Structure 1
Amino acid sequence: MRTADWFRRQRWWLLRVIALPFQLLLFALVAFLLVRLIPGDPVLTVTGNQATDEQYARIQEQMGLSGSLSDQLVAYFAQLLRFDLGTSLLTQRPLLEEFGQRLPATLELATMALVVSLLLVGVAAYFAVIRPVPVLSAAIRGYARAAGAIPDFAVGVLGIFLFYATLHLSPAPLGRLSPLLSTAPTVTGLPFVDTLLAGDPARTTDMLWHLALPVGVLVIAHSAVVLKLLVGQLDDELQKPSTLFRVSTGASHATVALSVFRRSLPAAVTMAGTMFGYLVGGAVIVEALFAFGGMGQYLTEALAGADLTAMQGFLVAIAAVSLVVFLVVDIVTMLLDPRRRPGAQTEA
């Protein structure tokens, strides 16, 4: 009974953890089918239609395309259960090794953009709703209404043209460091964290300088989604009886503001988790624009070389990252608002 009672109380997060591998397998199935819907013969694309029958069969097997569709699917899932994403056709290296070197840099860029976005969104929402300044509030709300309408690529190209080519305020979009500086020794796989750990102020400052515009591009392109939701939630919470009661009792401005923000956060946190998925996709594009390497360059090369295995592995890896993020977001949201937990009303 004690075990059953413990599970009943903890099921709000345990069930989500248990469901995670099954959700990943479902996404892997979708990736498997999507890649095979690509028109044309990928083997002929890779070989330039110049392969012998023996070469064709060997490459077809390496790409996981030999046998019937059901045979391919069984082999693919057996491979995934061994934590094997396959081998890149272009580099002849295991994809786990490739992603282990490149994906952390992409996730770091997306995480930096997320942190900056959330800080700016919180400040902007405060001045738009809690303590509005007429012109500033109108500008913030106007930007929030543009949610989802600002593409990463367009903002990136405009940023490079304006801040690098025209104003000369940004370094050349040729990597995370100036050409004369060497990269820091790899410790965590996260370029900026490794640079900090190396303890070289000049190299750290240079990387921050190179990261400023790419992070700014991602922030401008994606922050409006969370800002729009948070502003709307704050507007609603300000009109609720609980807020009006606090104001009528003479509660301080800070107390009212904290109360309103606390009750508005769960929906904003959920949207922030969704935004992280968008930021990862945007980071891939931005990395290609600013020559950062990472998954952006790798995916570009895989698409150009019709590396079916790499594209399939990329989709699964990004799905795994997104599912973990959504799991964390779910748990944080239910910690902020216990009423969102399954069975919370019954237990109350």
Structure 2
Amino acid sequence: MSGSDHHEAIIIGGGQAGLATAYYLLRAGVDTLVLDDQPRPGGGWVHVWPSMTLFSTAEFSNLPGWPMPDYDGFPPAEHVVDYLTAYEQRYRIPVERPVHVDRVNYDDGIYYIRAGKKTFTATHVVAATGTWSAPFIPFYPGSFAGTHWHSASYPGIEPFRGTKVAVVGGANSGAQIAAELTRVAEVTWYTRRSPRWMPDDVDGRVLFRRNRQRALAIGRGEPDPGADSQLGDIVVLPEVRGARDTGQLRATPMFTSLDEVDADHLIWCTGFRPALGPVRRLLDGNTPRHPGLHLVGYGDWAGPGAATITGVGPYAKQAARQIATSVGKTVK
């Protein structure tokens, strides 16, 4: 098929997974276009709360080909956004934005990507849409008269100063948000079980090594050596440790009804689901129904460490290699 809107590969999503995949495809000479629904580079990192940082130092937070610039300590979101912006520019990755993909159809070997009134076509589609746009909130009976939030929309501490806040969730985001809010608010931290703290000396560097060991073992057909959750659920960042050790951060057993929550604000730190809207109808579970559709990122749902900046590289390379081989090119 010819035409300016047809490409050998179209990547949906311009965050870390999309950029890593584009890097390998472009190096192999594959005609590639990235469609991103954000107004600027940075992917989901543009939307995280102000105090959120990586769990790893900069040297353990690299996309393929180019290391993240140095940072003293754990880099904040703005450092990551700057890096992703510069990465996109450095490798001249062709990104059209903002383009919101509404639907992807497949017919006789060609994918039709519909975005508003425009249609793109491609032989291969890479879904790299991440999870940030698909926050999950569980159902509980009862009603809550205060303001509902999710970690995806949490704006930082200021709106909560001097208020009563309920934080729900016993993993990293719940612990981090509850810990920082103890400085300005009366916080009740609800968890389904007692917090499972990782050892204090475990951070993203340790988790990266474990994820690489898992991915390599699984790739060799060996038994899975075990997920990070075997170590615990919460990385003990400095502010979390301080609030925990001073007794300000204490878990409360999970409520059974919203009627039990006595607070001005309720913040759900209950995770995300893969944001697969445009391609979901083309999947059986997490398996594509047709050749030429590839999923990159999405955490353990796609592979150990696949949702991390450094961990996504091997999965991006694998998808790019499959695409390049099918069009007679080679990923090195």
TM category (shorter chain) comes to: under 0.3
TM-score, normalising length: structure 2: 0.26
Give the strand-richer structure, 1 or 2.
2
Higher radius of gyration, 1 or 2: 1
TM-score, normalising length: structure 1: 0.25
